[in-house]
Structure 1
Amino acid sequence: MTDTSTIPHVVITGAAGALGRAVVQHFLAQGARLALIDHRADRLSETFPGLDNSQHLLLQADVTSTAELSAVAAQTLKAFGRIDALVHIAGGFEMGEATHALTRASWDRMMDLNAWSFVAVTQAVLPSMIERGAGRIVAVSAKVAARGLPGMAAYIASKSALQRLVEAMAAEAAPHGVAINSVAPAVLDTPANRQAMPDANPAEWVSTSVAAETIAFLASPSAAALHGQHLALD
């Protein structure tokens, strides 16, 4: 029988995206046991064929839904016994509207996907970490969260809100042995970004593999002294 006491048990949201895939591969190489969450089950099964087995979980959930996340967290805890780390990658990006012309729909969409989703997923996972007195939570924020830019008001505001949530939750959770931080990448080198910015130089962007390594560090015991930090990747 395999001794699972030393195997990392990791939950990853947005697992089927470009960064999610890099993070999944990094943790698989470390021998971790994974619960992968995405809003579409077919994307998960297509992206990770063969991973839906007794060792790993492929779970469909809307990351803005507390009810759905509570259900998949309960399923994960029943299967794994514990969650050592949560990597919250799921989010959204859009731009175009000037700040004075922002629509409520755009505002709500960005705030729900990038800020509220962090509250919803940690609501489902953090209590079990506090009970155990151990855990790591890593969010994916953004380097641009530090300053407003034209046409990106709702996105930047939502990522800034995410960073403030990370800081507040980190201060609350640190006394219980849980470290909460974020990575704040500039532009990630993904197929979507290459398509959206064909004239840019991807060599100047952040590779998803490098971002995955930083996330894995924050999710490890080595990051025990980091709380409420945002590691800028540029």
Structure 2
Amino acid sequence: MQVLKGKAIMEQIVAGRLCFYRRPVPQVQLYTQGDWRHEANRFHQAQQTAILELNTLYHRALNQVGDGVASIFLIHGMLLEDHDYVETVRGLINGQGATAEYAVQMAEVSFAAAFAAMDSPYMRARAADIRDISQRVLRALMGGRQMLLMDEPAILVSDDYLPSEVMDFDQHRLLGLITRKGSLDSHTAMLVRAYHIPAIVEVPLTPRCEGRLALMDGYTGDVYIDPEQEQLNQLRELYQANGRPKGLALSVN
């Protein structure tokens, strides 16, 4: 058995197989041979489509978890209309002949890096929001959809998760989330707490753990790889004896 240390978002315990979530990377054309005005119009149409989608997410979250958390998607809408962000995209299209897709990708890289370099942990966490809105605009431009279906129940592992991905995962099969990076101050963490999804961040998992059984201890932030049934039983008894949630269904499958 291997024990890895992380930082827990939710005080929950869950066991399941690890599945690495690999976010698709769109392949885009860099420069257009056509009229830059056409590309600018494509961007603005995709921007409006993304804002409408965010409004739908806002109302869904509002009904499920309340205004405090749902406002994340109002903030995303405001970021999409931010003057500096929009003008960066338009400048790349107009000044360099970039396609709308490439301009959005470059704006994502630039703004996310700027947030990630800030001193405040809260502001650093906003880099994920920039990536989220940019990926949404790219999907609108390229006609894609966010497909986050799971074949079987699993604990998903990734470097990090974008806020809207929390809304799109199959909640019936999602056992928990583990990130190798991530942040306790992110909007993703706020959504995870609101939806009571077991989650631990900053866990140094490697791809060779794919498919292996893991136990997430949300009280300590520990992740146990290949735990034995006896150890699972001891952990369950420990938390039950200390008044923690009872009836933990922990078993080695």
The TM-score normalised by the length of structure 1 is: 0.30
Instruction: Report which of the two structures shows the higher radius of gyration computed on alpha carbons.
Output: 2
- Higher RCO by CA contacts (8 Å cutoff, separation 6 or greater): 2
